[in-house]
């Protein structure tokens, strides 16, 4: 039996279309872009591991409190009612990705993607336990021995410890981390907290320790569609074939022109440092995460052989073709304008967000009730949400066309910060007064200490038709 490939070629059915994975042993590299990447790792992972330990207003500065259903992000407190802000933030993040990719290529992949930064740390730990590239190659090729077992075991110990710490920190964003830490020490962690710590730790270990570049190559959706955001003016890392070819080794100090060779000395340093194992000299490939390790490696070699830097560099296709690179182009203007508009809208909406919310639910058990004194009564459950970080005393009033009265007469509610106060309110109106039939009434709450803090909600008042 045979199967037909894309190009119409006939291949045996048992033949796999997947190439066997080759373990990549990226060589350590130094240079300006590596320094930038290292800084990004320290800043981003530093924030991840330290933020939950920083307190603000006697609470964790960043806490997604699932129990209270409140998200604390520094001064901002988001409630389920503020879901729109989270959605807005996600849209902003997505659009930023589009914008920065169109301008400068895969900046996200190179410097900020969690996969990149955690893989970098796992690589550091691997080097710490097993040594540099040459030693790791030799170690993997060597038969099992006590030394190999110790090095491999040491690496696994470092990886697992780091992964568990990562998992613990992750749970610490959802459950106060100081209390969580105490309970870990007392072996009193809940079953779900244990599960998520292990789950996230395992995911970190698997993705950054074992799979590494395979996540970018096979699992990352962004790697597949980022090509749609690229054009000939997008910043990419590329090999200057015009300058480098024909490549070949030559003696130190030899005149390249006389030998007929280009500037590439074919040292393969760019291949050895690549974390995804590609050869940038073959052109732009989707596996390239634009980490610029090849740029640093090539610059180092160019310095050594006394040739100008930049054989592999950040550039654009237009620049390579000796054409003008346009930074401002329609897609950049569209992405940039949308991003600016949404960002300004987000800030304005956030600034105008009311620190108090009011929810009014009619009693569903009875439409209305006729009282002995000839009035009609509707019962409501009123929920006052104090979204601020201070307690407030709220006064509630009801307005509408007609003579409405409420029970309790002067409803005052003291609502603690970040909490909901549910109250039962009876609203009454004469059955046959100036107004009859159903109508709309307006509930209003005002903070007694600050009249600017107020909220209103409209509801139906049901009454028999005349």
Partner 1 sequence: MSVEGGQPVDERRDLGARARKVGVVVWSSFLAACAGTLFLFAFIAPTDIIGPADGSDWQDHLGTYSLGFLGLWCLAAVASTIALYLHNGPEHK
Q: Which residues bind partner 1 (CB under 8 A)?
A: 3, 16-18, 20-23, 25, 66-67, 69, 80, 83, 86, 137, 140-141, 174-175, 190-193, 195-196, 210-211, 214, 218-219, 221
Please give the C-alpha separations between residue 117 and each of 38, 63, 167, 203, 455, in angstroms, as whole numbers.
9, 23, 16, 14, 45
DSSP 8-state symbol, 175: T
How buried is 466 (Cβ within 10 angstroms: 0-12 exposed, 13-18 middle, 19+ buried)? exposed
Contacts of residue 352, defined as CB under 8 A and 6 or more positions apart, other chains included, come to: none
Q: How far is the CB of 209 from partner 1 (least distance, A)?
A: 11
Q: Give the nearer residue to partner 1 in terms of CB position, either 74 or 218.
A: 218
Q: Give the nearer residue to partner 1 in terms of CB position, either 56 or 219.
A: 219
Please give the C-alpha separations between residue 57 and each of 41, 361, 386, in angstroms, as whole numbers.
29, 33, 16
If one counts every other C-beta atom within 10 angstroms of the C-beta of residue 347, the result is: 10
| Cis, bond preceding 342 (omega within 30 deg of 0) | no
Phi-psi sector, 428: left (phi>0), alpha (psi -120 to 50), beta: beta
DSSP 8-state symbol, 249: -
Q: How far is the CB of 22 from partner 1 (least distance, A)?
A: 5
Q: How far is the CB of 26 from partner 1 (least distance, A)?
A: 12
Q: How far is the CB of 168 from partner 1 (least distance, A)?
A: 15
Collapse the DSSP code of 412 into the 3-class scheme (helix H, G, I; strand E, B; otherwise coil) and give the result.
strand
Q: How far is the CB of 166 from partner 1 (least distance, A)?
A: 17
Q: How far is the CB of 32 from partner 1 (least distance, A)?
A: 28
Q: Give the nearer residue to partner 1 in terms of CB position, either 104 or 267.
A: 267
Q: Give the nearer residue to partner 1 in terms of CB position, either 99 or 174.
A: 174
Q: Give the nearer residue to partner 1 in terms of CB position, either 190 or 345.
A: 190
DSSP 8-state symbol, 252: T
Q: Give the nearer residue to partner 1 in terms of CB position, either 83 or 432.
A: 83
Q: Give the nearer residue to partner 1 in terms of CB position, either 327 or 424.
A: 424
What is the C-alpha separation between 281 and 121, in angstroms, rounded? 27
SS (H, E, C) 279-306: CHHHCCCCCCCCCCHHHHHHHHHHHHHC
Q: Give the nearer residue to partner 1 in terms of CB position, either 12 or 191.
A: 191
Tell me the DSSP string of 180-217. HHHHHHTT---HHHHHHHHHHHHHHIIIIIIITHHIII
Q: Give the nearer residue to partner 1 in terms of CB position, either 200 or 461.
A: 200
Contacts of residue 448, defined as CB under 8 A and 6 or more positions apart, other chains included, come to: 392, 393, 394, 395, 412
Q: How far is the CB of 321 from partner 1 (least distance, A)?
A: 32
Q: How far is the CB of 127 from partner 1 (least distance, A)?
A: 17
Collapse the DSSP code of 78 into the 3-class scheme (helix H, G, I; strand E, B; otherwise coil) and give the result.
strand
The answer to whether the beta carbons of residues 340 and 254 sit under 8 Å apart is: no
The answer to whether the beta carbons of residues 30 and 296 sit under 8 Å apart is: yes
Q: Give the nearer residue to partner 1 in terms of CB position, either 22 or 324.
A: 22
Q: How far is the CB of 190 from partner 1 (least distance, A)?
A: 5
DSSP 8-state symbol, 433: S
98-131: b (≥16 Cβ within 10 Å) or e: bbbbbbbbbebbbbbbebbbbbbbbbebbbebbe
Q: How far is the CB of 259 from partner 1 (least distance, A)?
A: 25
Q: How far is the CB of 218 from partner 1 (least distance, A)?
A: 6
Q: Give the nearer residue to partner 1 in terms of CB position, either 197 or 316.
A: 197
């Amino acid at each position: 039996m045979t199967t037909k490939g894309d190009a119409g070629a006939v291949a045996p059915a048992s033949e796999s279309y997947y190439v066997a994975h080759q373990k990549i042993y990226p060589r350590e590299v130094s240079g300006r872009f590596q320094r930038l990447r290292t800084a990004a790792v320290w800043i981003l992972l530093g924030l991840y591991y330290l933020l939950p330990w920083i307190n603000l207003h006697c609470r964790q500065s960043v806490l997604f409190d699932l129990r209270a259903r409140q998200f604390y992000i520094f001064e901002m407190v988001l409630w389920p009612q503020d879901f729109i802000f989270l959605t807005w933030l996600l849209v902003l993040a997505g659009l930023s990705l589009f914008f920065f990719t169109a301008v400068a290529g895969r900046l996200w992949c190179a410097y900020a993607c969690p996969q990149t930064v955690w893989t970098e740390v796992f690589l550091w730990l691997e080097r710490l336990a097993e040594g540099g590239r040459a030693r790791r190659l030799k170690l993997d090729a060597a038969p099992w021995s006590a030394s190999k077992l110790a090095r491999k075991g040491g690496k696994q110990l470092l990886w697992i410890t780091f992964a568990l710490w990562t998992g613990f920190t992750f749970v610490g964003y959802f459950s106060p981390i100081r209390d969580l830490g105490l309970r870990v020490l007392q072996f009193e962690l809940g079953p779900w907290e244990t599960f998520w710590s292990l789950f996230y730790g395992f995911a970190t270990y698997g993705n950054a320790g074992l799979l590494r570049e395979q996540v970018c190559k096979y699992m990352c959706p962004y790697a597949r569609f980022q090509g749609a955001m690229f054009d000939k003016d997008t910043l990419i890392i590329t090999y200057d074939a015009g300058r480098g070819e024909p490549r070949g080794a030559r003696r130190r100090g030899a005149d390249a022109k006389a030998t007929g060779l280009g500037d590439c000395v074919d040292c393969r340093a760019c291949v050895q440092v690549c974390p995804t194992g590609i050869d940038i000299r073959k052109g732009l490939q989707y596996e390239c995460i634009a980490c610029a390790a090849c740029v640093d490696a090539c610059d180092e070699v160019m310095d050594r052989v006394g040739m100008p830097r930049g054989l592999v560099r950040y550039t654009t296709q237009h620049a390579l073709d000796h054409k003008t690179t346009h930074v401002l182009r329609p897609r950049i203007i569209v992405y940039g304008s949308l991003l600016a508009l949404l960002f300004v809208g987000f800030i304005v909406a956030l600034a105008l967000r009311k620190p108090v919310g009011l929810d009014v639910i009619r009693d569903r058990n009875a439409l209305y009730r006729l009282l002995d004194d000839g009035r009609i009564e509707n019962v409501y459950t009123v929920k006052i949400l104090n979204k601020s970080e201070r307690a407030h005393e709220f006064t509630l009033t009801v307005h509408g066309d007609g003579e409405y009265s409420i029970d309790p007469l002067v409803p005052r509610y003291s609502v603690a910060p970040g909490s909901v106060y549910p109250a039962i309110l009876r609203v009454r109106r004469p059955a046959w007064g100036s107004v009859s039939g159903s109508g709309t009434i307006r509930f209003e709450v005002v903070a007694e200490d600050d009249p600017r803090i107020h909220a209103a909600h409209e509801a139906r008042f049901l009454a028999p038709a005349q």
